[in-house]
Structures are given as structure tokens and as C-alpha cells.
Structure 1
Amino acid sequence: MVAAIELYFDGDAQARLRRLWDALESAGVPSLREHTHRRHRPHLSLAVARRLDPEPVADAVRGLLPPDGLTVEFTTVGQFPGRVLWLGPTVRPDLLALHLAVHERLSAAGVEVAGVYRPGVWVPHCTVSQQVPWAGLARAVGLCLDALPITASLRSAAVVDHTRGLYRPID
């Protein structure tokens, strides 16, 4: 999966997450800082697909992010298969409502997304590493736990397609 609707954090939270990326890199754990094209921003993905056409997707979900943003608090560390390490926010009704609204609009527009991002299945998270070396796992989890909690305001969003190098802000 290489295309997504990503939510971005306020400056303070983004700086804290980038410092965590730096700490992971210093400990020999690859972070998103150095992953693939090296243009990743700390984010929370609402939907992911093999391909998303930026204009129709942005049009479909425009106006859903509250004007004052949405506050989340990262309080947990988790891991997905493939040694993907992430921070998880406390799940709140407003975050779930935003996620559901995005998927309702995407479905109405005929946009297919990955099953693990659909309502009722989605695990909200901010990925910090895509491939934690087994030997560095305990250290990586410790660095993540030391960084928590992180309160973040979700302030902006974009449709991104990393394979095609596309980035389309959502108004």
C-alpha cells in the first residue's frame, strides 16, 4: 500500500515525533526519517490503498477535519507483523467519527481502500519504524515509551501517493 489519506500534527507534536525518529536512528533502528524517499512526515493515516487519485479523493473528503483540528494523545506502543513499530492514540469517539465519515464519503465516491483501514477494523497509529531489527526491538520500544505521552493536534490532511510522488492537500 503506497497511497493514503494522511493527517498531520501541529508543530510541537511533529518536532517530538521527529526527535523520536532521530533517537531510533541513533540506536540503529531505521525510522520513517530515512525510509524510502526520505520525505515522510509524522502522520496518522485514515485510509490506505494501492492507488488513490488525489483530486477526486480530496473532493470526496473535503471539509471533514474540524476547523480547529482534532486532538489525540499517543499513549501506547504497538507492533504489526513485519516488525512495524507504532505509537497509538487513546481511541476517542471524535477520532472514530472522523474515520467513519471519511470512509462513508470514499465509499459513496467508489474509492476502494485496504481492508485493515476500514471502520471496525482500523487500528489508529503513527508508524515510527517499518522494519525494527529483532536485536533492537527492546531498545526501540523503550525509546518509544520514554517519548510518551505525546498530545497532538491533527491540523491538516493530504492525499499522498508515495509511488507516484503525489501530494495533494485537502482543504
Structure 2
Amino acid sequence: MTLVRRAPDEPELFAVLFRRYGRDVHRFVWRRSRNDMLADDITAVTFEQCWRSLPGFRPRGATVRPWLFRIAANELASHYRSEGRRDARERLATVRDEPLRAPSDDVAVGSDDAALLSALARLRERDQIVLSLRFLADLSTEEAAEAMDVERGHLAVLQHRALAALRCELEGSQR
């Protein structure tokens, strides 16, 4: 924790934080998005946010790791929200000029991972975050609870509900 306290005054120590946690944050974002460029961008923004917030950061736990994952999860959710709004605007702009067509029958999910990520993307944001932190970022229950700013017992309830919602999404997509 001394590293975090000293990093705002000694930028070379911030580089140590990046080397220690950068790969894990990048891997977490990549596992959610399967997009190298997006993972690079979100990782950079995460550490930029971290740098700007370090002077006022007061950790509840022993490490800065859960906080970094919370920043990354929030940035990724923000990206998908803005991407969804942009896609909706583009669809609305073109729908007037297109004839109505039935969906193509030849579209198929390529792998179990793709189906899982697709189902995960259809969940509520909070469900996506809890499952991503626990299973894609491999955070412990304590770390995920800290990242979400909830008690450990509350995280267990959130995780249970999110897994149930994911199960329903997966079963619905197999019909």
C-alpha cells in the first residue's frame, strides 16, 4: 500500500503499479470483449483514471487490484452503452430505406465461448459486472465485493442472481 501512497509524488512508482496489474486488467477486458484494440484502450483509460484518482484513493482492502478492475468494468460498460446508442442511431437512419427482411437462417454461433459472451452481454449491467469480476478477472469473493463496493454476503446474492439470469439467457438461446 505504500507504493500507492507514494505513486502520486513519484511517477516511476506508478510504472511499477502498471507492470504489476496492467496485464491482468488487459486480460480481463479482452476476455469480456475478445478485442485486442478495445482491451488496449480500456486498459490505458483504466490506468489514466487510476493516476488521476490516486491522491484521494483510500483502499478498503490490502491491494489496489479490485479498484482497478472496478474502473475497467465501468469503462467497458460505458463503452458498450455508447456503442449501443451509436448502433441504434445508425439502424434508425437506415431502417427507413431498407425493405423488411426475415433474419438469415445461416447465422450460427461459432463456439460455446461466443454463445456465453453473447448471453453475458444481454444481462443487466450489474449482472455482467459481478460475473466478469468473479469469473473473467478471477477476483476472489473478497476482491470482487470490494470492487463492487458491497459486503461479501451481498456479493454472493448478486452472483447467485447473475448466474441464474445467465442460465436463463443460455437456455433461451438454445431453443
Tell me whether the two structures share a fold, i.e. TM-score over 0.5: no
Rg (Cα) greater in structure: 2
- Which structure shows the higher helix fraction? 2
- Which structure shows the higher strand fraction? 1
Q: Tell which has more relative contact order, 1 or 2 (C-alpha 8 A, sep 6+).
A: 1
